[in-house]
Chains A and B, each alone.
Chain A
Amino acid sequence: MSAAASALSRSRKRNVIPGFGLTLGFTLTYFSLIILIPLLALAIRSAGLGFDGFWKAATDPRVLGSLRVSFVTALIAAGVNVVFGTLIAWVLVRYRFPGRRIFDAIIDLPFALPTAVAGIALTAIYAPNGTIGALFAPFGIRIAYTPIGIVIAMIFIGLPFVVRTIQPILEEVSHEVEEASATLGATRFQTITRVILPSLTPAILTGFALAFARGVGEYGSIIFIAGNIPFVSEIAPLLIYIRLQEFNYVGATVIASVMLLISFALLFAINLIQAWSRRRYGYGD
């Protein structure tokens, strides 16, 4: 590792501050042991299957079903979160009302509340005899134990990603720009839809991608409310877990590899969005 550190150090500027080798060496060692080597283990395992073996396991109907459930529900939840997350960010940044700071703090609840706790609580609320479930039960609508329940859980855990991505950018949108729009004759509605929202687009896209990625990978808050019926409400992370319980490591590895590839693609997309918006608009970082 110190070899890597000294290779990296070649380009550093003259600097009187000590500890470069020590801290970077430790950082790289720790990162390798905790993150890199385990992830490589996964990659090596799935590479060991060969393309045909991998393809066969990846296209197993139950695997495809679980991936479809995960991605479709995460897409819907991220969509809902973009709409309400933008609205909430707007309200929290622009308006003053009693309790604003408390609501602002509560946005982060899904970051702080253990997912299993959220899972059983959401189930209690949306079960047919729960507070909200009971409102819909008379109409024959079931929320818990159906894909709708999965979407609800994903909305819960994804909301802060959208709000917290948009909030700082919205604060940056200058008052003058809105005034400029008004002096040019734009109605308030036109100013919002043509000036403010477009300038938030990179943040909204980033928030969407983050919420989506989180939703696809989420496990704890979903399994209680999902019903977990294969092909209907069985999510991909749960299928990984089931495969592991069956000691079917190959099956688990393949699903995990597919999911990882997709989330890394998303991560890459997020970085692209931010680089693009920084370059073109001069903000977004």
Chain B
Amino acid sequence: MSVPNGTKVPGGTGVMVDIRSVHKSFGPLHVLKGIDLTVRTGEVTVVLGPSGSGKSTLLRTVNHLEKVDRGVISVDGVLIGYRRTGDRLRELPEREVLKQRTRIGFVFQNFHLFPHLTVLENITEAPVSALGRPRREAVEAARRLLERVGLADKETAYPRHLSGGQQQRVAIARALALEPRLLLFDEPTSALDPELVGEVLDVIKDLARRGTTMIVVTHEIGFAREVADTVVFMDDGRIVEQGPPGDVLDRPRHERTRAFLSKVL
């Protein structure tokens, strides 16, 4: 694929996300201490770990909501947030970063739907204003997406009138409206009442079956077991271990993974 001003970086075919020795600090707090992670196209990677382990921060660096202090991240062969000139990485102007973000969908823990816009307007806003799609086309696409997440009858509702689970499904439809190459989920069910978790996970599972590349930060171990191709366990800013769910969840090699799983299972 080609993105204007994007710099191609080496990476095997079928690699969607390539994260290399990423460091990030907030003041004196060293949150990411050298993260290396590869996500292959069409695969679901689930990131587990105790709170404060850096998993949300890692996710936010992938679409440059957080700038990294060191290291490189590329998505679909394109460096995120920077362009390489010689041995330097130069920060891209905001316009370019915004363009890169339209290829990466992000779903927040607290949905962050726009409260003053209807469900339909929430979904069509980005395709129309960021991609320049004709409004009619965007509306039709939005309706198809709403049907897919089971909310076809809610297009004129305002977010406040929906349940948490419905809001999160709208947020997923909003992210999908840009037809992203990659979807990032930041604890998508953590703000939901327990009985609403299932409907959101069902939508994500459906996306997984369709071969959408995803990174999901979550505490839902059952979901990880069922959907993940790779489970990544993070603790204290590092990836402690990663592998197929059968290995990491059932035969963890590391003591910290075992300790974490024994608490959440």
**A and B pair up:** no
* Residues of A in contact with B (beta carbons under 8 Å apart): none
